[in-house]
Chains A and B, each alone.
Chain A
Amino acid sequence: MASPKLVIEAIKRQCAGVEVRFDGYEKTLLTTVSEILTREREHRIAPTNVQQKVQDHIEVLGDQIWRRSEEKA
């Protein structure tokens, strides 16, 4: 597989270009994307319910966005 370093650096660059939803969003997004890719790699070795896991990660991130926006409101 590729050097994770390569992918990680690319993810970092892309995350830096995304609209900041809340403080620390960039790091949170980076972690979420990295986790999703890790789940995908695991799934390649041994089948898992990767769709659900991806959804879970996104829902967690989404909930953080929702809560922070509610707090602001």
Chain B
Amino acid sequence: MQFKRAHITNFKLLENVEVDFSVDRARPLTVIRAENGSGKTSLLTALQWGLYGEKALEDHTVPLSASHWPAGTPCEISVELAFNHTAYVVVAGQEHVRTREYRLKRTVTEVVEGGKPRRSSEQISLLELTDRGAEVIRAPRQLLEQILSADLRYVFFTNGDAAMNFISPQLTRSDKRSQVRDAIKALLEIGVIEDAINHVRRVQASKRKETGSVGGDVARLASQVEELTTRLEELESKKKEITDALADLTTRHETADRALQEALQRGNQEELAKRLANVKQRLAGAQKMLAELSHEHQALLNSEALSWSLMDVRLRAGANVLRGMHDAGIIPKTAVPVLRDRLALERCICGASLAHGTPARQAVEEEIDRQRASDAFQQRLTRLYHQAEADVADRDVGQFSWDSRLEAVLINRTEWEKVLQEARAEEESVRKQIEAIDRVDIDEKRRNRMSIGSALSQKREQLQQVELDVAMVGQSLAQVREQYDEVRKRHNKLRRVNAQLTAAQDVLSVLDGVMDELQGAYLERVSGRMDELFRQMIAADTDLPEQMRVITGASITPEFDIVVHAGNRTLNPDHELNGASQRALTFAFIWALTEVSDTVAPRVIDTPLGMMSGYVKRGVLDLISSPPTLSEPDRQVALFLTRSEIAQVEDLLDQRAGVVFTLTNTAAGDLTCRHESDHPRIVRCECNHRQYCHVCSRLDDATYGLISREEKPCQ
């Protein structure tokens, strides 16, 4: 399908707006520049309503006409769409390709009363433009559904914000899986195939019943096959339920675990306990040092140095007296040894005889006795003299300097006091942190996680059991079928019915195979292409936080989860990607879907580049607007962009856009020129992404470097 142009009448503020689309293969992009409130959402809805009618409306109670339309007055609303469609048809086993041109018009009349709309039945006309003229298509809805199923409209008509539903923390995991699965199913027509499989199975069941009418073994076996088939279907359905429940429980368990880890992180008990032990050690060390210093200080008050420092003068005076005595020869006394020597020689120094019995000897002996009596004292004096001399010498070299020792002790004490205070402060801080750990909260979170974990285990067991049952019943069914087929073959009456059963089985096996192929192989293809596109888009993002730069890709699991890979780790895109990367991932998924499906339809996106910075924006735009290669079918992309989204990618739009124009709300508050109109409406001008004119000029145009397309000043 390829849009050529659309004309919208009275759809919201789109009073009379013509929209054309680029059909240039080399420049497949259509850019509709419009600020917020300038009809982007209305246009997106109008196009979908034109194709699908009421089904395309999110809320049927909201009027389609503009709010200024007089209440109670009928308003005729219409959307006309000119488009091409290329169809693939199988005739006699051969493929045929045909492109046709169509004109579609959908009209409805609406009256709004009390704020509530009443709408007439929609009138729809679809014409095929042939060489013979316009031919009316009798079943337009059927044809439109065949061309582009309503199930796919949110893939091909995308609101940038709403697309986030594939990656939304608000949805449960099973809901998101369903969304992804449904998107893939719709695109690959899996729903149609599933329905066909169910109908063929019913045909099988009814044919088996027919064989049962023959009676005997055939009837019995037919009945068994039927029972086992029903049982198997029930088990498969139960398995799916359990699998979905398991997915939800897994998500809840992950959430509970994350909550517990966060709570533990806030008060990492082990780490705090270590810190406390460490600080206590430092505290004890400081206290010990201070105790030692205190004793050292005390010892200073009882020291010889203090005595010298206070009594220096008097002590030196004493020492001086003794020195004087020494210098005068009063100490040490040496007479006694000399006199004794003389007695031994029995001759005095003067020559007199000191023989025994002489008066001289007696005098000397008495002198020796007298000298001995005062020797003890002399000795003490002499000893005191020597000790005093030594001490004074030590004092002079600073050995007994008390105040310098005191100063050293005081400095040490101050430093260690500081260490002690710091350790105390840290101890208090750590204790406070420990107290702050909400143990109750942690215990509760732990219990919660345990309880979910226990439910998870039980669910896993249930799944294992049901898988076992499925395998056993499947095996039994295969055995019984084999017996049944054998018995059938032997029974003549059943040949025709048998042949029909064979036909049904063959059709079923083809449909099952197609289903597996579409789901398996195409899921892989969608996943692979999504991965390529996503990596291209974010590779250019230099604003990504460091840990995001290790993203190695994205994939869709067999369970239809969209996950992001970072090395060996799998990231949860709900929580572990920034907004721009989430949006890029969503686009990559949608783009991959449409590419792999080979569905050729216009991709219309409202505000695709919101929340994206320069590099990611460029990467995404580059990808979604690139022209097709030679082997690819024509491509058509229409983007509704604000000035802000266009900023910094103007050059890319220069290259890729085949059609660019601007829509403006005449009642916008930041327009430079006034519009003469009694009511707001959306008007089109031919300004491209680098221009402005009197219709669309805004106050901040200079910020975007826009240039005027005309010389006409504002009125």
Residues of chain A having any CB pair with chain B under 8 Å? 1-8, 10-11, 13-15, 17-19, 21, 27, 29-34, 36-37, 40-46, 50-51, 54-55, 57-59, 61-66, 69-70
Contacts and interface: CB of A to CB of B under 8 A. Distances in A.
B669 interface: no
Contacts of B497: 62
B494 to A, nearest CB: 10
Contact of B503 (A13, A41, A50, A62): A62
Contact of A61 (B187, B507, B597): B507
A2 B500 contact: no
Contacts of A41: 145-146, 192
Contact of A63 (B189, B193, B500, B504): B500
A18 B152 CA distance: 32
A55 B206 contact: yes
A15 B509 CA distance: 9
Interface in B50-103: 87-90, 92-93, 95
10 contacts: A1-B149, A1-B152, A1-B186, A7-B518, A19-B506, A21-B502, A37-B189, A44-B145, A45-B141, A62-B502
Contacts of B511: 14, 33, 36
Given A6-B522, A17-B513, A59 B196 contact: no
Nearest to B188: A2
A5 B187 contact: no
Interface string B186-204: 1111001101100110110
A65 B503 contact: yes
A60 B643 CA distance: 62
Nearest to A53: B199
A64 B517 CA distance: 28
B512 to A, nearest CB: 8
Contacts of A66: 495-496, 498-500
A68 to B, nearest CB: 9
B168 interface: no
Contact of B510 (A2, A18, A51, A63): A18
Q: Does more than half of chain A's interface fall in helix, strand or loop, or is it mixed?
A: helix
Nearest to A5: B88
B200 A54 contact: yes
B195 A40 contact: yes
A2 B597 CA distance: 6
B253 to A, nearest CB: 36
Most buried by B among A13, A30, A36, A37: A36
Nearest to B185: A2
Contacts of B597: 2-3, 6
Given A41-B146, A54-B196, A61 B503 contact: yes
Contacts of A64: 503
Given A36-B196, A41-B145, A45-B142, 13 more contacts: A1-B148, A1-B149, A2-B189, A4-B89, A6-B518, A6-B598, A37-B192, A40-B199, A44-B145, A45-B146, A62-B502, A63-B499, A65-B502
A14 B514 contact: yes
Nearest to A61: B503
A10 B203 contact: no
Nearest to A73: B495
Contacts of B200: 36, 54, 58
B496 A63 contact: yes
Given A6-B188, A55-B203, A14 B510 contact: yes
A43 to B, nearest CB: 8
B501 interface: yes
Contacts of B495: 66, 69-70
Nearest to B596: A6
B462 interface: no
Contact of A13 (B192, B501, B517): B517
B598 A1 contact: no
Contacts of A40: 192-193, 195-196, 199
B371 interface: no
Interface in B464-497: 495-497
Contact of B499 (A37, A45, A62): A62
Given A1-B149, A62-B503, A15 B189 contact: no
Contacts of A27: 92-93
Contact of B95 (A1, A5, A50): A5
